[in-house]
Structure 1
């Protein structure tokens, strides 16, 4: 009875500490991003303080997805250090609790938080990210400056129609490719000969065609022609365009299997989507691993000394896990490592990093 009550207490303390760290970092990132947006919008007529705030609020949640494991790590360390400083761990020890009973409630809570983060938080963050790009377009009135850069020269897509084929280059994308900015279209006839170039401020995908906004045509054998709007026929569907332009980070967890399947059928690279899917699946285990790492470096009683060194060691261990995850991600995107291995290897190393010291502490 006492052990169960203490376990629930430790679980609540861990959740409170982790939430405090997460909210604190969220506020700090939000403030820095807002200040940067206000600096950028100083000379923009359409920008306002309220619009800049909206962009920051909708953009920061996805940034916090990447910071979440560190929030759990720091939150768990703060939780156990406070418990040790107030001698609550000593009292729990005297009640017959082992180190595993200290850690188990936080591990279970971290697993639940990870499931919620993958199933609920990620889709919300992906949706808000798209909204932030639309707001940024409106604020800066320059689609070419917003959106996600796919390469150094923007997004590229090839399409065919009854008149021939065309290659579209866009500097930016919003709504996962439905709206493009800074558009240049290279037109070819059925024989593959270059016919004309069309430049437009923006392009919007409609049913069966792209609507080019504020377009200008540059034919090979005629003077340039200015067009208000221009319709460019296309055989691309909304789903195909979204698969072409969407980056894995902006796709909801529940939509990733569809994107993977569509990329495979189209013969396109799906390694990025597979890696993102595996990372989201492994997130609960990663958060649990962070709790184990935190416990291994912060369960030392204050009276033994060396607390600062242990805390620093825990932070360094978390940073090294982050570096390892980035290396495995790059290897996976280069198709040198299986996505599942790339996502789960840092989790496995993190669990070992936490378990070995705990085994020595409790059973050594």
Structure 2
């Protein structure tokens, strides 16, 4: 006799296998496309062996796959449920008195767990790997410097603005930097205190700038020339990568500290907050995609036209992706609040998918 626990494990296993197969297919496609593109770009700048190029591609792929996770879950669950339909397993479950809500529960749990694990485990690893990819690609192409940059940091009582002619990522060095030190008054206004002009500024030790060949100017004081000056800083190498465009986003567990650092320095943290909310909403989005897959697959048994309905499910998946991209863009430009931009699509899709499944199941 088959117990409900055994049936639940079977459905969860089928769903996990379907998602795993979809993941392998999507990963293979993305890896192939990015490998060819990387060979055309990086391969033209350096003599890389196929194995070296494959290693670089492997560092980049996890971050690229992150955008396709909802599709992976959608197609994976659709494949699992469609296979169970073809073998009449869902029909037997219904005949045994199980409703769709009950036999879908294991698949929903699998989808939610994948969303949680991706946000908390895979995302940090993918962020580290893409950072390593950017560093290695810069070493290969020799593109280690950027144009003029501006940095800012500070606290409630002091602010610092840094302007530099160029940035050397590999050397953790600012070329021809100028440091403007300002005091923050009680009323929020800033007062200029002093200025440091240096030949270079290097992050030799985390938490400290080392300024070389420095000219110091302050109101009412004579100009001072110093060979070396050390200044404390909250800026890290990751901040320099971000300024150079070599960093996509911080890992999940560091987003809150990045938000605090940006706001303390007077910068907007809207994009970081949006990223945090989207990672928190990912499990709900994957659950919604599971409901979409169930609605499409279950209807195919009753109505026929399996291929047509599977294509419909794929179109719905792309529609979700398009809507999410548009709403996210509204959030990035402050048309919508951050929380609303991140949670609207998962909540709306979840509501519509449950309503559609309820109509199919209960009439």
TM-score, normalised relative to structure 2: 0.79
After TM superposition, give the deviation of residue 304 of structure 1 in Å.
3.1
Look up the SS of the partner of 2:314 in the other structure. helix
In the other structure, the counterpart of 2:97 is 96
Look up the SS of the partner of 1:254 in the other structure. helix
Flag structure 2 segments of 5+ consecutive residues without an equivalent: 155-159, 182-191, 213-226
1:168 & 1:104 partners in 2: Cα distance? Answer: 56
Q: Alpha-carbon deviations, 1:42-84, whole Å to 9, x = none? A: 4434633332222111111011111111100111111111111
1:314 & 1:172 partners in 2: Cα distance? Answer: 48
2:329 & 2:148 partners in 1: Cα distance? Answer: 20
Look up the SS of the partner of 2:97 in the other structure. coil
In the other structure, the counterpart of 1:209 is 209
Task: Say yes or no: does 1:71 pair with 2:69.
Answer: no
After TM superposition, give the deviation of residue 32 of structure 1 in Å.
1.7
1:188 & 1:113 partners in 2: Cα distance? Answer: 46
Instruction: Tell me if structure 1 keeps the 8 A contact 2:123–2:252.
Output: yes
Task: Say yes or no: does 1:238 pair with 2:239.
Answer: no
After TM superposition, give the deviation of residue 306 of structure 1 in Å.
2.4
After TM superposition, give the deviation of residue 188 of structure 1 in Å.
8.4
2:130 & 2:11 partners in 1: Cα distance? Answer: 35
Task: Say yes or no: does 1:167 pair with 2:167.
Answer: no
1:269 & 1:243 partners in 2: Cα distance? Answer: 17
Change (3 A) 1:45 1:292: closer
Q: Alpha-carbon deviations, 1:92-146, whole Å to 9, x = none? A: 111111111232111111111111111111111111111111221222222259x
For these two proteins, the number of residue pairs brought into alignment is 329
1:73 & 1:322 partners in 2: Cα distance? Answer: 12
Flag structure 1 segments of 5+ consecutive residues without an equivalent: 146-152, 213-229
After TM superposition, give the deviation of residue 170 of structure 1 in Å.
4.8
Aligned positions of 1:198-347 closer than 5 A: 205-207=203-205, 208-209=208-209, 236-239=233-236, 242=239, 245=242, 249-302=248-301, 304-347=303-346
Instruction: Tell me if structure 2 keeps the 8 A contact 1:37–1:52.
Output: yes
Q: Alpha-carbon deviations, 1:140-179, whole Å to 9, x = none? A: 222259xxxxxxx78532589xxx97512557867xxx84
Instruction: Tell me if structure 2 keeps the 8 A contact 1:186–1:197.
Output: yes
User: RMSD value over aligned CA atoms?
Assistant: 3.5
In the other structure, the counterpart of 2:40 is 39
Task: Say yes or no: does 1:107 pair with 2:105.
Answer: no
After TM superposition, give the deviation of residue 301 of structure 1 in Å.
4.3
In the other structure, the counterpart of 1:129 is 130
Look up the SS of the partner of 2:203 in the other structure. strand
Instruction: Tell me if structure 2 keeps the 8 A contact 1:69–1:286.
Output: yes
After TM superposition, give the deviation of residue 8 of structure 1 in Å.
1.7
The equivalent position to 1:157 in structure 2, one of 151, 155, 173, is: 151
Change (3 A) 1:91 1:251: same
Give the stretch that moved more between structures: 320-329 or 2-11.
2-11
1:48 & 1:59 partners in 2: Cα distance? Answer: 17
TM-score, normalised relative to structure 1: 0.78
After TM superposition, give the deviation of residue 265 of structure 1 in Å.
1.7
Look up the SS of the partner of 1:84 in the other structure. helix
1:136 & 1:120 partners in 2: Cα distance? Answer: 25
1:39 & 1:130 partners in 2: Cα distance? Answer: 21
Task: Say yes or no: does 1:22 pair with 2:23.
Answer: yes
